[in-house]
Structure formats: C-alpha cells, structure tokens
Amino acid sequence: MNKKVFVTGADGMLGSMICRKLLLKGYEVTAMCLPSSNSNTLKGLDIKIIKGNILDLGLLNNELKNHNYVIHVAAMTTVWPRKSEILKKVNIEGTKNVHKACVKNNVSRMVYVGSASSFTPGTKENPGDEQTPFTWGKFGMDYINSKYEAQQFLINEHKQNQFPVITINPTFMIGPFDSGPSSGAMLINLFKEKVPGYSEGGKNFVYSGDVAQAIVNALTKGKLGECYIAGNENLEFKEFFQKATKIIGREFKLRKFPQFLVLSVGAVKSIIARITKKAPNISYGMASMASVSQFLSNKKAVKELEMPQTPIESAIKESLNWFKENGYI
C-alpha cells in the first residue's frame, strides 16, 4: 500500500501542521493551495505543491490519481457576513467535489476536517460530545451551517455507499503558521493591548499540533463514518486571558463586560459594517456566540485516535513566538 496523501488547504494554520506531521510519519505529501497563496508556511518542506481550487472537479480527479489518502482541510471560515453564497459553494460543493474525486480514484480513506460547532456544547461539568445534536443553526451563520451540511453529506455517503470517511471536529485552535491570522488575532490584539475586556462564556481551546496529530492518526485509526471532537481545555474567557497575559509577562487587568453591553456593541458594529462594507472586529452574531459557554469533551479522540494533549500555555507560547519571528508583533 502506498503512503501518498493529498491535503487540501495545506498552507493554512492547520494544514501546515498536518503536512509536517505527515512527513514525520514517512508519508509522501501532495499539498493543494490556492493559486493566490504564496504558501510561505510550507517553504522548505519535502512535499509536492500544486495550485488549484476544490471547485475544480477536473483538477481534483487528475491530481488524486495514485493517492491512497485524502485529508480535506480547505474551507472558507469567515463568520461575517453571516450569509455568503460563495462560502456555501466552497464548503459544500467543494467537499462534494473532493468526495467525487476520492470515489473516482478509489481512495482508501478520506479525513474531513469539520467543525466542533456541529455539536451542542455543554458546561464544564457536563460538556457536549459527539452525541449532542446540532443546534447552532439558530445563529444563522453560513459557515457553521455549511460545515454541518458537508459533514452530514459525508456521513450519509458512508452509511449508504460505504464511503471511507472520518470527520475530525476541531475546537478553537491555537498554534503557529497562522498567517491570516485567524484564531491568533486574539493573541496579537492582546499582545498589542487592544483587548479592552472579555465577555462571559468560554471555549474549548486546543493546540493545532495536537489536532494535526489526531488527523494523521485518523488515516489508520478510528472508526469510519464517525466524528471526533479534537479539543483539549475547557476555559472561561477570563481563564484563557489570564494564562495568556501571564505568558506575555503582564499583569491581568482586563475587565469583564456584561452580556447586554457586548451584544449592543456587536449590533452597532454590524450596522456600521453593512454601511461601510468592511468586516467588523465583532458582529452581533459573534457577540451572541461569545456569550455562550462552548465546552466540549475530547474523550473519544483521545481514546480512539490517541490524540495528544499539549497544555494550552505551550500552545500560546509557540503561537506568540511564531508571530514574533514573522513580524506580526
């Protein structure tokens, strides 16, 4: 059996880490990146880089020849505006294209990178898991809904046609190679003292390298047709910012903002964004989600995929070091 792996969205924060983990395991990697990307996060790696788009089925059909595995990371992740036809097309139709190309080329296993928002979170004492239903459609965000729809399509393909797929559902990732930046923008703003405070609620935070390792392990471990929440520490926002400010070397002075104020600011900024056509740093939808405790269980991924559990403090340090080395801070 060959060890050739095709990775979509390979030069993003997670994709870049996946490529490195694959090489450490002796896999031969083909990395698919957008034509507009400079792919700086992959420079120096012994991999094949192709430029393309998952909406190009012909390209996928051709490039997937002789590959045994596919890791599908590529997606549009913006949450503003809430509604986006191109986002739905990329996340849903693009995933269906990857599926078609896998079928055509008899790929042995596809690992799909979904979203932890496809499951209802819980409390620290009783966190959500892979059995909790999808209820986040109430926020009306095409990103959340499209990732869930693509996930369900693949699960149904497994049930009906035995399509060999496993879904990995990352929580809020922290780590290097975040060239966007995406999740790391929060740390950059904190470092630059542009975070005035925090809301109630919290998230499950995870090191991107641990998620990448779970994904690589899923090529040979785990149960086909199932989902795995790839997470680590359930932290209230106050707890996370306390850890981060300590690592930065500052005294924790952030204020807690009441929910009505956070929602009000989000509503006003959403209105301004619609007028100016510029993405807000917080929208009403973002504010609504930020006020929810998004706590989830990682037990299944740890047990069945042998997912590592790097302390979040280490993830924060590695992320900040990467931002410093690359001129972000």
Q: For residue range 260-283, what is the model confidence (pLDDT) as tens digits? A: 666 676 667 667 767 877 776 766
Name the DSSP letter for residue 257: P
Q: What is the pTM of this model?
A: 0.94
Instruction: Please compute the mean of the pLDDT values over residues 286-299 and round it to a whole number.
Output: 80
- 3 state SS of 122: strand
Average pLDDT over residues 15-31: 98
For 119, the token pair is 């499951």
Going from the C-alpha of 277 to that of each of 36, 46, 83, 181, 264, the distances in angstroms are 22, 41, 14, 20, 19
pLDDT tens string 186-217: 999 999 999 988 988 899 999 999 999 999 99
Q: How far is CA 297 from CA 173, 212, 232, 254, 319, in A?
A: 15, 18, 8, 28, 23
The interaxial angle of helices 312-325 and 237-248, nearest 10 deg, is 50
Would you state the pLDDT for residue 274? 74
Question: How far apart are alpha carbons 147 and 74 in whole angstroms?
Answer: 11
Helix (H) or strand (E) holding 4: strand 4-8
172-174 and 109-113 strand pairing: unpaired
pLDDT digits (tens, 9 = 90+) for 214-262: 999 999 999 999 999 999 999 999 999 999 999 999 999 999 987 766 6
For residue 293, the model assigns a pLDDT of 81
φ/ψ (deg, to 5) at 197: -175, -165
Top-tier CATH class for 4-181+205-236+295-312: alpha beta
d(CA 47, CA 107): 19
Q: How confident is the model at residue 285 (pLDDT cuts 50, 70, 90)?
A: low
